[in-house]
Chains A and B, each alone.
Chain A
Amino acid sequence: MSSQTHTTLLDRIRDGADAVAWDEFWTRYWRAVFNFAKCRGCSEHTAEEVVQDVMLTVFQNRQVFRYDSAKGRFRDWLGGIVSNLVNQRRAKPAERVRAAGGDGQNVLESAQDSHASADDAWEEAFEASLLNVLLDLVRREVAPETYQAFELVALQGVPAGEAAQLTGLTRNAVYLARKRILQRLRELGQSYRSEGRLLDRVKRALASAPSADVECSLTSWMAQSVPARGRACP
């Protein structure tokens, strides 16, 4: 998967009724938006609302955006929308209190301080989201015991012997699973030019992944919302 949003996907989402394209778009970017909102001081609840706002804004502006690499990346355009919406949310007094558990100002300030800029935070959230998508792709490509062995040894730090017991593989096969999946991740993400070891970045991305409850709630909202609006469009 390229780190650049594929032009054909952007073409396809202009058709509001193309549910497959919107599903792909959703899968790629919702985590980035959610994580960015959270690391900018939003509560989980507000971060969910930001995700919904962003998807609806992109939907409403799908005819406006024309990809032109000379003018800038899609990532930056999306980052601009997300940043604006997060700032709007943060400006609401109720959210300031909710985000901070009573002392909103301090939390928001520390959230801002933790990143040199919103741009850095967005880049980090964007990459973590794409790495999660890559991991999902690999998960579907390989045998389940292979993925599980990789997850146990490489991401959870479980000794190979215990991973072998849990998956029914040999220790040798556990090592090979780790190696094979890292190779595959590297192949899929070859266009990345990011600092740090791939494995560390994958771990960070997984650690930042939203919970299953949030995923279910937002995915359900998306399934009932945007494609339905698209179908209603003339």
Chain B
Amino acid sequence: MNDPLGNGESAIVCPGSPPAIPDMELLRQIGKGGFGEVWLARNQTTGGLRAVKIVPLRGTGAVDPAGREIVSLSCLEQTARVRDPNLVTIHHVGRTADFLFYIMDTADDVSGGPVSPGAEYAPATLAVRLRCGPVAGDDCVRWSNQLLSALACLHGEGLVHRDVKPSNCLFIDGQLKLADFGLLAQVDRSVSRVGTLEYMPPDGIMDTCADVYAAGLVIYQMITGLPAHRFPAIQTRARAMLADPRLMALNRLVLKACQSDRNGRFADAIAMLETFQQEVVDRNGTDRVEGMKAAPGRIRRLFSGAIVAICLAVALLGGWLVWRGLNSVPNVDVNFITDQFDAEIWLDGRRLCQPDGQPWLTPCTVTGVSAETHLVVLKRQGLEDLDLGRIDFAKTREVVAHWGIDNGDPDARP
């Protein structure tokens, strides 16, 4: 549902009285987007309340929104297996002489109360919720799971949504559901650059990777409460995120999903959901996501394989550690920090170099230093060598050294 509170531009569908839709009495407009309007409607036979989206059959200029919507709905219809509980259900699609229309479930009321025909009803969407600031950790996890499940279902069927954003995430019976399939397309087709600019990836290629990018931004908004265009800033939310391991894991998920380079992102929402379950849900022990449903078959198989691989890796690592413990001095990682950056590190008269031959330069974490006593000297061009004497790396993991120069360089002190 685009712009449910009506803040955006819209094609005028029905300037006067509501259009006539078979079997439905249109009560009032509750949302509008670029190409259509959403109305709260009452079924004239049963009295039940529904949301009805109306799109004019004759578009303006070269734009044919109804034609595109019909193609999208046909895609959804043809993949009959697309029945995810986190996708908004479309009950009926039809047309009149002037309009294409389809009938959907109504979103909860923003107040948390039931849907009512009164003027006070406003549909509860994630966009509305985000106006109140960041979302609590439990809800972040639950809603992220529901969003990714819905998207994974579409991607699993070879479809791409192309308009993932908070205003298209509705709350129905308290569950987050993905709505507005007007831009839905088959992923293997050459898809045009359509969608909402703020949620489009920089490359502009609107495939599954683009849905992943948009979903990442939506989750970013949930955990930070900031608008999408501020990504990846965290601002004052840093402390709260550091206090909750689930938010930290969600942040890492978002960073991967929203890489500018599409090759750095998850290939699709299925891969993103897998990582979400491993990093955010399973790692958290008792923290099970309420209402989490069984993963699709492919995910489950991959997930089982991953568990076997992890067990094998842990066993191998354990064996290796035992062997190391019995046979040699262990290696440790040591931080070297200096008040003038870019100093070389010399241990026992030998310069420390990385595997590619480049010298380690401060500030850095040198891996694989044998945990015994070494003679440490730091060398930096233009300064006298700094002899730190003998340091036992069995006890010391961080070496901080100062030349004692203050040249006003803001980089000087880490």
Contacts and interface: CB of A to CB of B under 8 A. Distances in A.
Interface stretch (A57-65, A122-130, A171-179): A171-179
B260 A166 contact: no
A167 interface: yes
Interface string B157-172: 0000000000000000
A143 B259 contact: yes
Interface stretch (B66-74, B174-182, B224-232): B224-232
A199 to B, nearest CB: 4
A206 B78 CA distance: 51
Contacts of A200: 410
Interface string A183-205: 10000000000000111100000
Interface in B348-376: 363-365
B255 A144 contact: yes
B310 interface: no
B255 A175 contact: no
Contact of A166 (B233, B235, B248): B248
A182 interface: yes
A166 B251 contact: yes
A143 B265 CA distance: 12
A147 B238 CA distance: 13
A183 B241 CA distance: 28
A200 B410 CA distance: 9
B232 A139 contact: yes
B363 A147 contact: no
Interface string B246-265: 00100110011011100000
A168 B255 contact: yes
A175 B414 contact: yes
Contacts of B346: none
B227 A144 contact: no
Contact of A179 (B230, B256, B341): B341
Given A144-B258, A147-B232, A182-B411, A166 B242 contact: yes
Nearest to B227: A212
B16 interface: no
B335 interface: yes
Contacts of A145: 232, 255
Given A166-B248, A166-B251, A175-B363, A152 B410 contact: no
Contacts of B231: 144
Size band of the B side of the interface?
Answer: 20 to 34
Contact of A198 (B226, B260, B410): B410
A197 B410 contact: yes
Contacts, number: 76
Contacts of B113: none
Contacts of B337: 175
Interface residues of A, number: 33
Chain A interface secondary structure, helix, strand, loop or mixed? helix
A178 B410 CA distance: 11
Contacts of A168: 252, 255-256
A216 interface: yes
Contacts of A198: 410
A205 B346 CA distance: 40
Nearest to A145: B255
B234 A171 contact: no
A212 B232 contact: no
B325 interface: no
B118 interface: no
Contacts of A178: 411, 414
B245 to A, nearest CB: 9
The interface centre, meaning the residue of B241, B255, B258, B414 with most chain A CB atoms within 10 A of its CB, is B255
Given A143-B259, A175-B414, A197 B365 contact: no
Ranked nearest first, the 8 interchain pairs of A and B with the lowest CB-CB distance are: A144-B232, A175-B363, A172-B365, A197-B410, A199-B410, A168-B252, A148-B232, A145-B255
26 contacts: A139-B232, A139-B233, A144-B231, A144-B258, A145-B232, A145-B255, A147-B232, A148-B233, A148-B251, A151-B238, A160-B414, A166-B238, A166-B242, A166-B248, A167-B252, A167-B255, A168-B255, A172-B335, A175-B337, A175-B364, A178-B411, A197-B410, A200-B410, A212-B227, A212-B230, A216-B227
Interface of A: 139, 143-145, 147-148, 151-152, 156, 158, 160, 162, 165-168, 170-172, 175-176, 178-179, 182-183, 197-200, 206, 212, 215-216
Given A144-B260, A166-B252, 12 more contacts: A144-B258, A145-B255, A147-B233, A151-B234, A156-B234, A166-B242, A166-B248, A167-B251, A171-B365, A172-B363, A179-B363, A199-B410
